[in-house]
Structures are given as C-alpha cells and as structure tokens.
Structure 1
Amino acid sequence: MALTLYVDTDRWRAHQRSVLADFPDLIPVCKGNGYGFGHERLADEVSLLELPMIAVGTTYEAARMRELFSGDILVLTPYRRNEEPVPLPDRVVRSASSVDGVYGLVGSRVVVEVMSSMRRHGVTPGELGKLRTALEDVRLEGFAIHLPLDRTDGTDAVEEVIGWMDRLRSARLPLETMFVSHLSAEELARLRQQFPQTRFRARIGTRLWLGDHEATDYRGTVLDVTPVAKGDRFGYRQQKAPGDGWLAVVAGGTSHGVGLEAPKALHGMTSRAKGVARAGLATVNRNLSPFVWDGRQRWFAEPPHMQVSILFVPGEAKGPQVGDEMRAILRHTTTQYDRVMEN
C-alpha cells in the first residue's frame, strides 16, 4: 500500500525527444530531487538521448552525478569564495556570477552568468572591463543568462539577450557560446539567425521532464475507510465530522511532501479572490487535499500525518473501498514517492 508514481514511459520519452527536436544542443537540468524522478533515473535518460552535458544545482549534486553520468556536468549555483571544497573532476564546469568568483576559479572551466532582469545574480555591465582580465586565468566555456518566466511589463526576452550580446561584444569578450534559460524555440531561432557565429545552448529542466502532464500520475492507495455521521468526533484533535460520509485513510503524508505548498505569485483579481477564499477556509480547518475521488478534490479531514492523509468523503459521493487508488495532484519537485510503476 503506497503512494505510487505511474509513468507512461513511451509517452514520457517521446516528449523528451520532441523537446530535443525543438531545442537542439540543449542541456538537461537535473537538480533538487531530479524533478521527482531522482538523479540516477535522469542521468540514464540523458544518456539515452546521447547528450554530452547535464546541469545540476550544486557541487554536492555534481559529486553524486559524477558517479552516474560520464559526460560534462555544469553546476548552476555560482562559485563563492570560502565555500566548502568538494572534490570534482575536470569534466565539471563551474558557474561564476562575479569578477571575484572568476578570480577564485583559476584553471577551471567556467561559465560566466550575466545579470538579467531576474536581478538574482550575475556580472553587471559595469564589471565587464574588469572581467576581461579575470578571464585570462580560466577556461571560459561561455556566458549565461537566466531569464524570468513571466514578462508582465511587455518586454521582449530576445531583446534582453541581444542587449547583453551587444555589451559583451563592445567589451571585446568572446561570444562563441551563450547558455540561455526560459526561451521558447521560436525565440531561440531568432537569436541563432541574428548571431550565426554563436552557439546557443538552452538549459531546460521542467519543460523537458514535466512538460507532458499526461505522462505521469501520482496515486495513493486507500488503506482504511470508516463511515461517520455528522457530528461524530475523530482524529488526533477530535474534530467533528461536517456531515455524513466516510473517513478515508490514504497513503501519502508529510514525509511524501503531501501538504507542502510553495507561495504563489497571484496575478489579477480572480486569482487573488481565490487566494483570500482559501485562506478564509483554512481558518476554520477547511483545507483542500491534493487527492481526487469521484471527480473532485477532497478535503483533508485533519492535517496530513507523516505517511498517510485522512480525507472526508461526503455521503453523496461514491464510497471508497480499501485497495482503491486516489489520484493525487502533487508537485514533482517536492514529492517523495514509495514506488514507481512503468506502463
């Protein structure tokens, strides 16, 4: 009895190949929990795609990945002086987002990140003069720009990249390779047409591994079902049942990531109104679970336990049975499943 990740492997791999067709020369990103699939599985998938480089988040992930993947490994987190040294082979490429960071990577293979409208990290235009000297002592693999997902101000992602290409060229810095994130295939084609001498390499994670939502499915097994009448007390806190129905104990709790939710960026009055409504319901212990039964997401009867969740299924719905599976709408990047089933 488990929280299971079901994978339609043929469909999942067909999607990977379609992304590769749209983004030739892409670099697959495998960071965090491997987008829910794990580093070992994604390393195998990248090898099947016959791609020469993979990107990871940290040096610790690179140390694990070197045992799983034989090609080059790009570390996305920028180098900082005084960081804990992690022994890594020469096929690992480090990122740098400052002139000082470049100076700290003497002799290393380096990708230099420039400051985009993300305002997260990167070399600024005013530092380009100093950067030329710092690059003399490293093996420059190229420059990189990490772009925002949404552009609510109406600006053009391609124009932002072009602006940086012009700055780098004016500073007489090499433009052989540019690593980019969050561009469409059409936008990338525009850049390649305008800069035919530059190799553009897209770093892609979510779109590659999770872009086809129908290829994967989480399901939790129903472990127990108990009939309840309105007002019956139950659970750790002895709350009252809101109506007649069933308490369904389902595999999948906090240790699996059930109940974890990242803050959302809300745009427009409708999404804000929904956010206010959810917050109001939470104050009276009404929290919607990720589990779907009989066509609807069901409410948590109480906060999820470590390995199971208890849901309230109202009497007008189809009654769940022990051994049934409930589909769960979960984020791959925060979920730890018990098993994978391929089909």
Structure 2
Amino acid sequence: MPLTLHVDAAAWRAHLAEVLDANPGLVPVIKGNGYGFGVARLAAEARRLRVPTVAVGVPAEVSLVRQNFDGDIVVLEPWHPALSAPRFDDPRVIRTLAHPEAVAALAGTNHRVLVELRTAMQRHGFLPPLPTGRVRSEGYALHLPLEGDGVAEAERTLRAAGVSEGPVWVSHLLGKRLAELRRRVPGVELRPRVGTALWLGDRSSFRARSTVIDVHELPRGTKVGYRQHRMIKPGYLLVLAGGTAHGIALEAPKPVPSLEARAKVLATGTLGAAGLTLSPFTIDGRQRWFAEPPHMQVSLVLLAQDATPPAIGDEVPVEVRMTTATFDRVELV
C-alpha cells in the first residue's frame, strides 16, 4: 500500500545543477528525513554533483551520509563537552563549536571545527570577543533568520566579530543576496549552506501520490472508522495509503502575521471543532474531507455520491510537507 514520491529525474537534477552553478562554494544540507527524498539518496546526489562538502544536522546522520558521499561532512549541531566526549576520530567530519567550554576542551587537538557566531537568530554562537583557544578552525559559521535583511545581518555580525577574511559558512543566502554579501565583505570566502532551496526549489519536478487501497459505497447513517462516526450523507468511503507514520496531516505551528491568515486559522479551527477536517487528498478534482483523523498507515476519506470514485490500485494526488513526509517508495523516472 505505497505512498509514492514520483520524481522527474531530469528536471530535478537540472534544477540542482542550476542552483549549484549560480552559487559558488555551495554546501548541500542533508538532514532529518532528507527533505522527503531520504538522507541516503541526497548523499548520493551530492556525490553525483561532485561537491566537496555537505552538512548534516546532528552527529547520528553522519554514518548514513558517509556511506553514500566521499567528501567532508559538517555537523551543524554545536558540540559541547556536557553532551558527549570529544571522540572525533573521523578526519572527514567537521564539528561546530558555539561555547567557550567546547573551545577549551578541544584546544591543542587536531579536530576540525567551525566557530559559530551569534546572529539575530539567537540560537547558538559566540558574541564578541571571540574565543582565543587554539583550535583547528575551518572558518566561521552564521545561521541567519529568514525574516529581515540577511545580508545586513551577516555583515553586521562579521564586522562586530572582527572577521574580515577566511571561510565563512552561511545559511539562507543565495543568488543576488549572496553576491551582495560577497561585495560587502570582499576578503571573506563565503560557503552558502543550502537545503530547502536546493532540494525542494522546483516543486514541479516531483509529486506525491497515494494508492487507493479500498473503496466502499455506503448509505447515509453508516458508522465508520475507529470512532464510529456516522456518514451524514450517502457516498463513498475511501481507504488511501498514507497516515501519521508518513507524516500525513501533521503540521508545525505556522506564523499568522496578517488578518487574513488569522481568519483562515480561525475558520479551520472552527471546522475541526465540529469534526470536519479537510484532507490533503484530491479525488475527482477536489480536495476531500477526512472521515476521521488519519490512522498510522492509511487514511479514511469521504467522497460525495455524485463524484466519480477511483478504483482500487489507482493513485490520487496528495499534498505533503516534504520536511515531515516519509514515503514508502521514491521513484526517479
């Protein structure tokens, strides 16, 4: 009962090459669920692109990437001696440091590190003055917020820290903004770390499809699902591949900066309180309602009686959040 990601390999790879060519020094980020494609697959793609370095989120992701990629691997999560012993015996791995205790613990060793500077993100990093311990630094790292002027924030952070040369590994800057930062800090070698804009930048090159597992035509009043809710109208109950284990209908909190966005959240919450939740599945040209919350591996979806039901084995479109989705199968065609 597969939930499948269909990928137009030629179009997807053309996009990857375009982003790489437009942003010299690019470091692909491969972390979490591999942006829906899987960590191993993205590591192999990075090897095919012949980039010298990739970045992972946490140390546990290094081993899987290492099996499929031959270059250096940066770990974005800062290391701290309170979290683990400093056993960095892989010469291909570069760890990030963001605390004085970490610098002190690694002073005089041959471990490769990046020193992270604190930006307006306020997540990790040193504030000036910078640490003075002798470490084998591969440069500085900047993690920039998505909102605001990232170029100005990066320039401010570097100048405040007195960094005017050497490698600087920077997130969330590409294209014209990256070129502008290069113009403002000409002595710095910028290494843009890129995840979403690289792997997910061309949405037209991939699509998620759910396999129809079962179709039932039911009269009004029929009880369905775990919670035995009644069908309020006659119609079809569809059993579709994809549930909570795949990330179906799982959402992170969203920013709601405008009145329109708040109105949509309010309307969605009101419908949810009434037991009505729109599913991410599209059948016969329309997005359809859940019969109840998704199960672990399948979802129950309602289809009106006047609609044309799919057949068992058909595939129907499903909208997913790629950074939380796990597919049964990824097909490059």
The structure 1 residue matched to 2:146, chosen from 144, 149, 163, is 149
The structure 2 residue matched to 1:160, chosen from 153, 173, 198, is 153
The structure 1 residue matched to 2:123, chosen from 120, 139, 143, is 120
Which range moved further: 201-210 or 252-261?
Answer: 252-261
TM-superposed CA distance for 1:243, in Å, is 1.5
TM-superposed CA distance for 1:231, in Å, is 2.2
Which range moved further: 249-258 or 227-236?
Answer: 227-236
SS of residue paired to 2:36: coil
Q: Is the 8 A contact 1:298 1:313 kept in 2?
A: yes
Q: Is the 8 A contact 1:63 1:87 kept in 2?
A: no
SS of residue paired to 2:5: strand
Q: Is the 8 A contact 1:63 1:88 kept in 2?
A: no
Number of residue-to-residue matches in the alignment: 330
Q: Structure 1: how far apart are the matches of 2:224 and 2:63?
A: 48
Q: Which amino acid aligns with 1:336?
A: T
| Map of 1:41 onto structure 2 | 41
* 2:219 matches 1:229: yes
The structure 1 residue matched to 2:249, chosen from 244, 259, 262, is 259
Q: Structure 2: how far apart are the matches of 1:291 and 1:264?
A: 21
TM-superposed CA distance for 1:218, in Å, is 0.9
Q: Which amino acid aligns with 1:98?
A: H
Q: Structure 2: how far apart are the matches of 1:138 and 1:187?
A: 31
* 2:303 matches 1:313: yes
Q: Is the 8 A contact 2:215 2:312 kept in 1?
A: yes
- CA displacement 1:258-300 (0-9 Å, x = unmatched): 1311111112011111111111111121111111112222111
TM-superposed CA distance for 1:73, in Å, is 0.5
Q: Structure 1: how far apart are the matches of 2:309 and 2:68?
A: 45
| Map of 2:137 onto structure 1 | 140
| Map of 1:101 onto structure 2 | 102
Q: Is the 8 A contact 2:241 2:298 kept in 1?
A: yes
TM-superposed CA distance for 1:112, in Å, is 1.1
- CA displacement 1:200-256 (0-9 Å, x = unmatched): 010000111011111111111111111122322222221111222100001111221
- CA displacement 1:103-131 (0-9 Å, x = unmatched): 22332211111111111111113x32xx1
TM-superposed CA distance for 1:87, in Å, is 5.3
Q: Structure 2: how far apart are the matches of 1:228 and 1:174?
A: 70
The structure 2 residue matched to 1:110, chosen from 105, 109, 113, is 113
Q: Structure 1: how far apart are the matches of 2:159 and 2:165?
A: 10
Q: Which amino acid aligns with 2:10?
A: D
Q: Structure 1: how far apart are the matches of 2:88 and 2:112?
A: 14
| Map of 2:317 onto structure 1 | 327
**Against the structure 1 CA distance between its residues 291 and 316, is the aligned structure 2 distance closer, same or farther, given a 3 Å change threshold?**
same
Q: Which amino acid aligns with 1:105?
A: L
SS of residue paired to 2:323: helix
SS of residue paired to 1:306: coil
Q: Which amino acid aligns with 1:122?
A: G
Which range moved further: 41-50 or 228-237?
Answer: 228-237
Structure 2 counterparts to residues 203-222 of structure 1, below 5 A? 203-222=193-212
SS of residue paired to 1:66: helix
TM-superposed CA distance for 1:16, in Å, is 0.3
- CA displacement 1:22-65 (0-9 Å, x = unmatched): 21110000011111112211111111111000100111111332
Which range moved further: 285-294 or 60-69?
Answer: 60-69
SS of residue paired to 2:68: coil
Q: Which amino acid aligns with 1:334?
A: T
The structure 2 residue matched to 1:245, chosen from 227, 230, 235, is 235
Structure 2 counterparts to residues 65-84 of structure 1, below 5 A? 65-84=65-84
* 2:194 matches 1:193: no
| Map of 2:28 onto structure 1 | 28
5+ unaligned residues in a row in structure 2: which ranges?
Answer: none
